[in-house]
């Protein structure tokens, strides 16, 4: 307790200025909660939420540029990025966390804009809390990305979890929404318990909560407590496996995605999943990376477990999606497979002198963000037009809304990993990284999973172009149309010029200064 108080006391006013993106969202949450009592039109809350997110994004981008300007080179000419350490290094502002925060904020802005497009028809439109509850959820994700301490990390995790529990069940009159919220609370509670249990073992072994101090303690005691380290790390991975919906911890996802409002589904698929991945990367590279002794290769076993989980997620997600006809359940299982793709660069570690795995992870996460939010935005308007959420709601979409159908083709090509889209290069970079590390079996799993996914992804194209036209008119609101074409355009650009994005991350990201807490 004294250590926690010491860390909190070390936060000065000048240090607090570094947390401007988080403070802005907290302030907007409080102000909007009060304004919601007086504003006659709840849609204004949505626009103000969008403004708060944009302001926070501006500060996050400014902080990233400041970090890049202060990047230096070591004696070997390698970039060593600048890191801002707050509260005894329990909160870190570095290139990795800044890039993750920017992705979270951009994703949430697109989700809010998408929801504003159906504000007059959606059953969540009259609930101002839907909009401003997204803000503390994003703050939780941002805290998770910047955490260098298990206490800070758990606070961010619970802030994100509790707010998303409410968002999933915000349609109180909908039985499916209530059921989804109940299942999400139960599985989320189990996940948090597993993570906390694993953390308690790490604290017991090292007597520290800071990830850097834990890494030092593990280097000294790994040979003494190998069994406890295995238990700790695998419990943490199991808990976080639930958060990212990776097989075999994914069974909650289809029901929760189906019962949640579509914008909340998009938030869970992108922001919540991305925040859990940030935690996995922090813990794996600070704890598991050093948890080895001459006779106990714990680090190798942890990275192998990550790759096995990735392979299971890709195969299980792809095969289970073959028999899905509900679009939300289909994309829940697609998210399981994509969680597997995102796990591969994390599990590669630094094998074979392959050091660009974080760049590959961030590139594919950005591509996944765009194609997932984009196609769910299209789904939000098609499901409103036909009155159901089945895949045949896309029937004849090319004849009802031809340009929207073209955007869907872009998203489907990206999800399938075909040229010329961001998803193609995202998977290609991961495959090349695995080949460089000589892990050919995971390459085979990726290829098989991608081939299987062609069947249900191209089922959407078959519905749009080869099925009888549904008479229902498709009206694409302006704001939803903006989201669709921003995502489609950015997906296409990533497929045309992927190099600058990946080079930017690799040039400014330093695994030693950004991930290793010393």
Residue at 206 is within a domain: yes
Count: domains in the chain? 1
What pLDDT sits at residue 88?
79
322 vs 263: CA distance, rounded Å: 24
Task: Determine, yes or no, domain membership for 216.
Answer: yes
- Dihedrals phi, psi of 337, to nearest 5 degrees: -65, -40
How much is the pLDDT for 45?
A: 87
Integer CA distances (angstroms), 84 to 71, 91, 98, 138, 253, in order? 12, 8, 11, 21, 36
**Is there a domain that residue 9 lies in?**
no
Counting residues of the chain whose pLDDT is more than 70, the rounded percentage is 89
Look at residue 73 and tell me if it is in a domain: no
CA distance 4 to 13: 18
In this prediction, residues 152-158 reach a mean pLDDT of 94
Joined tokens for residue 158: 């619970």
In a domain, 38, yes or no: yes
Residue 27 within a domain: yes
Q: Span 395-399, mean pLDDT?
A: 87
Of 121-135, 141-155, 429-443, 454-468, where does mean pLDDT reach its minimum?
121-135
pLDDT at position 4 is 47
pLDDT band at 130 (very low <50, low <70, confident <90, very high): confident
pLDDT at 427: 94
Site of tokens 């299982």: 333
Does the pTM exceed 0.85?
Answer: yes
Q: Does residue 356 carry a pLDDT above 90?
A: no
pLDDT for 141 equals 96
Q: CB of 204 within 8 A of CB of 228?
A: yes
The answer as to whether 317 is a domain residue is yes
Concatenated DSSP letters for 187-208?
HHHHHHHHHHHHHHHHHHHHS-
DSSP type of residue 249: S
Cα separation, 385 vs 388, in Å, equals 8
pLDDT at residue 150 is higher than 50: yes
Residue 461 near residue 398 (C-beta atoms within 8 A): no
Percent of the chain with pLDDT over 90: 57
Supply the DSSP symbol for 419.
Answer: S
Q: Would residue 330 count as lying in a domain?
A: yes
On the question of pLDDT at 428 being above 70, the answer is yes
- DSSP secondary structure of 123-168: TTTT-HHHHHTHHHHHHHHHHHHHB-BHHHHHHHHHHHHHHHHHHH
In which domain, by residue range, is 205 found? 18-64+84-514
Residue 3 CA to residue 87 CA, distance in Å, equals: 10
Q: Is the pLDDT of residue 70 over 70?
A: yes
pLDDT of 352 strictly over 60 = no
Weakest mean pLDDT among 93-107, 264-278, 295-309: 295-309
């Amino acid at each position: 307790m004294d250590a926690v108080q010491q860390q909190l006391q070390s936060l000065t006013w000048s240090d607090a200025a570094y947390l401007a993106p988080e403070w802005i969202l907290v302030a907007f949450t409080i102000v909007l909660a009060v304004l919601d009592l007086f504003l006659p039109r709840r849609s204004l809350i949505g626009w103000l939420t969008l403004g708060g997110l944009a302001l926070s994004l501006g500060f996050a981008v400014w902080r990233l540029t400041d970090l890049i300007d202060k990047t230096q080179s070591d004696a070997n000419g390698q970039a060593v990025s600048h890191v801002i350490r707050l509260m005894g290094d329990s909160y870190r502002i570095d290139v990795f966390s800044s890039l993750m925060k920017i992705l979270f904020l951009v994703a949430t802005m697109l989700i809010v804009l998408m929801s504003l497009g159906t504000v007059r028809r959606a059953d969540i439109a009259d609930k101002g809390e839907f909009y401003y509850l997204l803000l503390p959820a994003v703050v939780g994700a941002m805290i998770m990305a910047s955490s260098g301490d298990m206490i800070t990390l758990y606070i961010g995790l619970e802030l994100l979890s509790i707010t998303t529990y409410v968002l999933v069940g915000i349609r109180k009159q909908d039985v499916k929404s209530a059921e989804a919220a109940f299942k999400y609370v139960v599985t989320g509670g189990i996940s948090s318990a597993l993570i906390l249990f694993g953390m308690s073992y790490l604290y017991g072994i090292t007597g520290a909560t800071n990830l850097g101090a834990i890494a030092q303690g593990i280097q000294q005691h790994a040979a003494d407590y190998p069994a406890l380290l295995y238990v700790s790390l695998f419990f943490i991975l199991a808990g976080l496996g639930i958060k990212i919906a990776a097989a075999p911890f994914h069974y909650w996802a289809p029901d929760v995605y189906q019962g949640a409002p579509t914008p909340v589904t998009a938030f869970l698929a992108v922001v919540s999943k991305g925040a859990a991945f940030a935690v996995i990367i922090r813990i794996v590279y600070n704890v598991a990376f050093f948890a080895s002794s001459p006779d106990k290769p714990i680090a190798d076993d942890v990275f192998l477990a990550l790759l096995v989980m990735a392979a299971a997620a890709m195969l299980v997600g792809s095969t289970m999606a073959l028999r899905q006809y509900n679009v939300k359940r289909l994309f829940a299982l697609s998210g399981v497979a994509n969680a597997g793709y995102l796990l591969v660069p994390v599990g590669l570690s630094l094998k074979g002198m392959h050091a660009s795995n974080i760049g590959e992870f961030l590139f594919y996460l950005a591509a996944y963000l765009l194609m997932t939010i984009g196609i769910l935005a299209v789904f939000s308007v098609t499901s409103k037009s036909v009155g159901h959420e089945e895949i045949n709601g896309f029937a004849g979409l090319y004849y009802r809304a031809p340009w929207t159908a073209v955007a869907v083709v872009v998203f489907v090509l990206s999800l399938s990993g075909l040229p010329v889209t961001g998803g193609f290069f995202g998977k290609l970079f991961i495959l090349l990284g695995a080949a460089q590390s000589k892990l050919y079996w995971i390459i085979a799993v990726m290829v098989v999973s991608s081939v299987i996914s062609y069947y249900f992804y191209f089922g959407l194209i078959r519905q749009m172009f080869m099925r009888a036209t549904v008479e229902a008119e498709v009206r694409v609101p302006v704001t939803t149309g903006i989201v669709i074409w921003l995502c489609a355009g950015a997906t296409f650009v990533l497929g045309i010029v992927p190099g600058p994005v990946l080079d930017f991350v690799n040039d400014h990201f330093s695994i030693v200064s950004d991930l290793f807490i010393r």
